[in-house]
Amino acid sequence: MHNVDLGPILDDLAAGRIDAREAANRIEAAKAAAGVDAASTQADESADTTRREAPRPEACPASP
């Protein structure tokens, strides 16, 4: 996989020089220029470890 330098784009976004839509356009253009397949950079929901569901009561063992 090719590494795409998103630093300058993210710096412009953080500084308010561009909006989110422009940042997305620039990111896609940078990926295309680097030969990165856009589908390969999308997060797989099954690999997302940041979202956690609370355990269901029926899944928890009862306390003695």
pLDDT digit string (tens) for 7-64? Answer: 999 999 999 999 999 999 999 999 999 987 656 655 555 555 566 666 666 656 665 5
| pTM (global) more than 0.85 | no
- Tell me the torsion sign for CA atoms 26, 29, 33, 39: positive
Write phi, then psi, for 22 (nearest 5 degrees). -65, -40
pLDDT digit string (tens) for 4-15? Answer: 999 999 999 999
Q: Are 18 and 12 in contact (CB under 8 A)?
A: yes
Q: What is the dihedral of CA 25, 28, 33, 37, to 10 degrees?
A: -160
CB neighbour list of residue 24: distance below 8 Å, 6 or more residues apart: none
